[in-house]
A and B are shown apart, each in its own frame.
Chain A
């Protein structure tokens, strides 16, 4: 498609532009005109982006409705079974992010400690976890621990592995959050007679946690996808596990994986939207 035509199409079709051009009344100042031109440019850009998204989606739908054969009956039959994994995926992600947040906070506080063993414990944990693959850690809890006669229920083994892993990475977020609170805040609290622990609880942590909320949201979104790795153990019947199970059994892996992909994608889009809303609210908040 020739680009000039595309742009013209966008300008002409964009209902917001049509609507905007109808506004009239008092003559506009130059600043207003410039502002409107900038707005128009911005709207046109966003419209073109949305248009291209639409085209790409249509292309995908077209591909799977003709050139690439998919078995519609299989999809219909197994839709509910695969969809049933969404709840399990969300459950394991929520439990894991809670554990990860607690560990991340402890690790970040440990990094502030002037007591060597605590500082070392924190850096040791982060180094060990970040230095080994997530897949290995998950397998360790499912396959290696039973050899020591430690048998965790499937879900909990997954939660502990994911929580430990994400906690190590997220400790950096909390560290940055704690560092974002200026020295002046500690000094003001100290001058008012607050003890270090009062200062931490009442002044530093509330500000640091607020700073850490948006990136924690990002980690949660990433976690919903990494939770798919837990399926490899066969003990947690989440989205990925169900897709692989039915796909393999009936040799319809293509359909099964596409369905799982769509579920993950939609979940991610919804979570990103929630995340953006929270972020926007925090940004214009009371700080």
Chain B
């Protein structure tokens, strides 16, 4: 697939002697929304974090938008490639990780100004545009402490988008939220997806996976055990572990 924007080949990750990702290969075409599901400990978050080298892969390689980085290497050249790949990817964390000593607006313009050297005024315009699109412009001068979890996460999404990444990575973006706040974040994510962003989302939100994803990948014990459209996956799961996951979601729904 020549048009893939993300290519993972033969990725292995060890934590000490623990083999958490086992020879994973994966291609994601541009504009695709991929949900990664699986029980905790299945390796789905680790896989996501390997994509922008928050975890250094042990073997294998990652390619994002033409930048190919081999895992398990060191040195100046490697660091530069990791830096380049991080500029291609935006990440949203479970715990938001906004900078508590900066206002909402400063959180969003920080990296464009400091990392990309963008003109402050231009960064502010872009930031305000993105804050507006996640519905958080009215809080631009507040500090994160004064925001709800859902609001923080929406700011975090705007912050990642303002770096103008090619791919957005979401690591359980709604898992730390009170149930009534999950909807507002999922709606923003849906909006980002509809605008054509390539997205990889680690989530437990089956409803979101079913409604928004183009493709759902199921992980278990460090392997990709199923890879299908949401329709096929929810209708006819092939692997018994996928079936168990979906059954549990269905029983929780009622």
Contact = CB atoms under 8 A, between A and B. Distances in A.
A185 B115 CA distance: 16
A193 B83 contact: yes
A193 B54 contact: no
A198 B112 CA distance: 13
A184 interface: yes
B86 A193 contact: yes
A210 B159 CA distance: 24
A187 B115 contact: no
Given A184-B95, A202-B110, A202-B114, A191 B101 contact: no
B247 to A, nearest CB: 33
Given A184-B93, A184-B95, A191-B52, A286 B111 contact: no
A182 B95 CA distance: 11
Contacts of B122: none
Nearest to A209: B101
A206 B100 CA distance: 10
Nearest to B146: A286
A194 interface: yes
In the complex, which of the residues A184, A188, A210, A287 has the most CB atoms of chain B within 10 Å of its own CB atom? Answer: A188
A191 B97 CA distance: 11
B1 to A, nearest CB: 26
What is the interface residue range for chain A against chain B? 20 to 34
A184 B87 CA distance: 18
Interface string B77-102: 00000010011011101010111110
A187 B114 contact: no
B110 A191 contact: no
Nearest to B107: A188
Main secondary structure of the interface of A (DSSP, over half): helix
Contacts of A187: 54, 93, 97
Nearest to A192: B111
B91 A203 contact: no
Interface string A167-211: 000000000000000101101111111110010001100110010
Contact of A193 (B93, B100, B163): B163
Interface in A39-86: none
A185 B99 contact: yes
A179 to B, nearest CB: 16
B234 interface: no
B145 interface: yes
In the complex, which of the residues A194, A195, A286 has the most CB atoms of chain B within 10 Å of its own CB atom? Answer: A286
Contact of B86 (A182, A191, A207): A191
B114 A207 contact: no
Q: Which 8 A-B pairs rank lowest in CB-CB distance, beginning with the nearest? A: A188-B97, A192-B111, A191-B91, A286-B143, A184-B97, A193-B115, A193-B86, A193-B87
Interface of B: 52, 54, 83, 86-87, 89-91, 93, 95, 97-101, 110-111, 114-116, 143, 145, 159-160, 163
15 contacts: A184-B97, A187-B93, A188-B93, A188-B97, A191-B52, A191-B86, A192-B159, A193-B115, A193-B116, A195-B83, A198-B115, A203-B99, A207-B100, A286-B145, A287-B100
Given A194-B114, A195-B83, A287-B143, 14 more contacts: A184-B95, A185-B99, A191-B86, A191-B89, A191-B90, A192-B86, A192-B110, A192-B160, A192-B163, A193-B87, A193-B116, A198-B115, A210-B101, A287-B145
